[in-house]
Structures are given as structure tokens and as C-alpha cells.
Amino acid sequence: MGSLKGKTYLVVGGSHGIGAGVVDRLLTAGAGVTVVSRGPLDRESSDQLTHLTLDVTSDCLDKSQLPDQLDGYVYCPGSINLGPLRQLTRETLLADYHLNVVSAVECLQAAQPALRASGNASVVFFSTVAVAQGMTMHASVSAVKGALEGLTRSLAAELAPKIRVNCVAPGLTATPLSERFLSSEQKVAMMAEKHPLKRVGRIDDIAAMVEFLVGDGSTWMTGQVLGVDGGMSSVRG
Ligand SMILES: NC(=O)c1ccc[n+]([C@@H]2O[C@H](COP(=O)([O-])OP(=O)(O)OC[C@H]3O[C@@H](n4cnc5c(N)ncnc54)[C@H](OP(=O)(O)O)[C@@H]3O)[C@@H](O)[C@H]2O)c1
């Protein structure tokens, strides 16, 4: 894998969960990172690390806040609103679409000039295993993440060859977002048992794939949706 040292990245949603795991890996590799989140960052800003406090659903990221050149953009905010069809509201659907898709596009629009300046930049979006595998109660999240998969392929075509666009589709991964599904040892064991690889995801399982996608080892990959899901999307255990 090529070195990330000296490269610069934008991680929207890099304060906790998978995004924080991505930031850890980028900083360790010697890259510069701009992190966007609503809440505080539990690490000090430095020459290598800049934090912008922003709710991307109500305020657009301004390109003047970003470095002149970006080698990658990772969009992490997402939602897991589960429930039966009869309880699915227009408000939930629209809010999920806004957070997962609209804001991902608007942040990319702000970052586009800096990504173009790199000449070899990489964008990573997040889908979910619940797009490839139909799951009960997942109507809203699967619909909006499915939109993101379509967006990945469309933008991969439009932005090639200077900007690559790929998508990671995690299975259940232990983060603040999924806390309620993994809040006891019993729940963790039950969820682990459902996976062919008999455990739930760890943040670093997903962050490692993102590090690969934003680095030089994947420069001939674009328009791909990569399942990192313990085999859940494609293997019958
Ligand atoms: N965890 C899973 O089991 C799982 C499974 C499948 C797919 N995914 C997808 O993977 C991605 C990452 O998931 P995760 O579990 O790491 O999520 P998470 O724990 O909720 O972390 C989300 C990050 O985004 C930031 N964020 C959320 N809303 C924001 C907003 N409106 N404006 C700016 N920043 C915002 C959060 O910081 P603040 O709260 O401080 O803003 C945080 O840094 C998501 O797209 C999710 O849908 C996760």
C-alpha cells in the first residue's frame, strides 16, 4: 500500500464511531485531516488535525474552510431508524435521506475543487449490509443507503479519472450509532451468531477498508460497493 504521509483528507463525521477509526489510521499514517462534526473532538487540534464544528444537515460546508488540495473525502454520518412499514413516516424518510444523501452530496460539492486539485483523489461513502440483503424493519435505511450506492456509481462515472468514488457497506459494527443493538452481552452474542464469521464488526474492520480505498493501493478501483460484513450479505452460514 502506498504511503499516506503528507496527503490531506476531509472526514465528515470523524469524531466518534467508524469515522474516528478512520481519522486514527490517517493520522498514524502521517496524513493531514480536517474533521467535521456537531460535537467536540476528543483530541487536540494540531498542524496535522483541524476540527470544524458543523451540523451538515443545517449548514453547508464552505470550501473556504478546506485546504486547497484534498486527496480524499470520507462521509460518515448515517442513521439506523428501524421499524415496520405502518409506522414509517414521511418525516423519518426525509430526515434519513437528508442526512445520508443530501448532505453527503453538498459536502462533496464544497470539497470538489480541492479534490480536483489533487489529480488523484478518492471519495468514500457508507452504505449498509441491509441494501444487498433484504432485512425486515429496514425500509428507510435500506432505501436511503441504496440511493447512496446509485450515487456512488453515477459520480464515479462523472468524476473519473481524477476523482474515484467508492462505497463501503458495513454489517453491524460496534459504534455509538449501533449501541442500542449491542447493549448487553446477550445481545452481542445473539448478533454475532447471525453472522457467518460469528462476530459483529469492530471499528477497525471498517476503517482498514477505508484506509485502503483512500490510498494508492486502490487507484484502479472506482464505482465499487464493498461489503465488510462478516459474510452477512453473501454467505449462508
Ligand atoms: N455502526 C453500524 O453498525 C453500521 C452498519 C451499517 C452502516 N453503517 C454506516 O456507517 C457510517 C458510520 O457509522 P457509525 O456507526 O460510525 O456512526 P456514528 O457512531 O453515529 O458516527 C457518526 C459520525 O458522524 C457525525 N455526525 C452525525 N450527524 C452529523 C451531522 N448532522 N453533522 C455533522 N456530523 C455529524 C458524528 O459526530 P457528532 O454526533 O458529534 O455530530 C460522528 O462523528 C454511517 O453512515 C452508518 O449508516 C454503520
Which atom of ligand 1 is nearest to 57's Cα? 31
3-state SS assignment for residue 198: coil
Predicted local confidence at residue 39, as pLDDT: 95
Residue 166 CB–ligand 1 contact under 6 Å: no
Structure-block grid coordinates of residue 166: 467508492
Please report, for residues 20, 29, 100, 147, 231, the alpha-carbon distance to residue 26 in angstroms, rounded to integers and kept in the order given: 10, 5, 23, 28, 26
Residue 36 CB–ligand 1 contact under 6 Å: yes
- On whether residue 234 sits in a domain, the answer given is no
- On whether residue 2 sits in a domain, the answer given is no
What is the residue with the minimal CA distance to atom 12 of ligand 1?
Answer: 76
pLDDT in tens, 120-162: 999 999 999 999 999 999 999 999 999 999 999 999 999 999 9
pLDDT in tens, 223-236: 999 999 999 999 98
Burial of 179 per CB tally in 10 Å (0-12, 13-18, 19+): exposed
- On whether residue 95 sits in a domain, the answer given is yes
Q: Work out the average pLDDT over 13-23.
A: 98
The DSSP symbol for 116 reads H
pLDDT at residue 203 above 80?
yes
Range of the structural domain that residue 56 is part of: 8-228
Reported in sequence order, the residue ranges of 117-224 that DSSP labels E, i.e. its strands, are: 121-126, 163-170
**How much of the chain is helix, strand and coil, in % rounded to 5?**
45, 15, 40
Per-residue confidence band for 3, with pLDDT thresholds at 50, 70 and 90? confident
- On whether residue 118 sits in a domain, the answer given is yes
**197: CA distance to ligand 1 center in Å?**
24
Beta strand pairing status for 49-53 and 32-37?
A: parallel
Q: How far is CA 68 from the centre of its chain?
A: 22
- The total domain count for the chain is 1
Q: What are phi and psi of 50, to 5 degrees?
A: -120, 140
**91: CA distance to ligand 1 center in Å?**
19
pLDDT in tens, 74-129: 999 999 999 999 999 999 999 999 999 999 999 999 999 999 999 999 999 999 99
pLDDT at residue 28 above 80?
yes
**17: CA distance to ligand 1 center in Å?**
6
Predicted local confidence at residue 8, as pLDDT: 98
Residues 6+ apart with CB under 8 A from 46: none
- CATH number, residue 198: 3.40.50.720
Distance CA 172, CA 150 (A): 22
- On whether residue 3 sits in a domain, the answer given is no
pLDDT in tens, 152-199: 999 999 999 999 999 999 999 999 999 999 999 999 999 999 999 999
Which atom of ligand 1 is nearest to 12's Cα? 34
pLDDT at residue 2 above 90?
no
What is the residue with the minimal CA distance to atom 1 of ligand 1?
Answer: 173
User: Which amino acid makes up residue 186?
Assistant: Q
Taking each continuous run of H as one helix and of E as one strand, the counts in the chain are: 7, 7
- On whether residue 85 sits in a domain, the answer given is yes
Record the pTM.
0.98
- On whether residue 1 sits in a domain, the answer given is no
Residue 21 CB–ligand 1 contact under 6 Å: no
Distance CA 75, CA 102 (A): 11
pLDDT in tens, 29-50: 999 999 999 999 999 999 999 9
- On whether residue 236 sits in a domain, the answer given is no
3-state SS assignment for residue 167: strand
Distance CA 185, CA 14 (A): 27
Predicted local confidence at residue 25, as pLDDT: 98
Which helix (H) or strand (E) segment is 185 a member of?
helix 185-194
Residue 140 CB–ligand 1 contact under 6 Å: no
Residue 77 CB–ligand 1 contact under 6 Å: yes
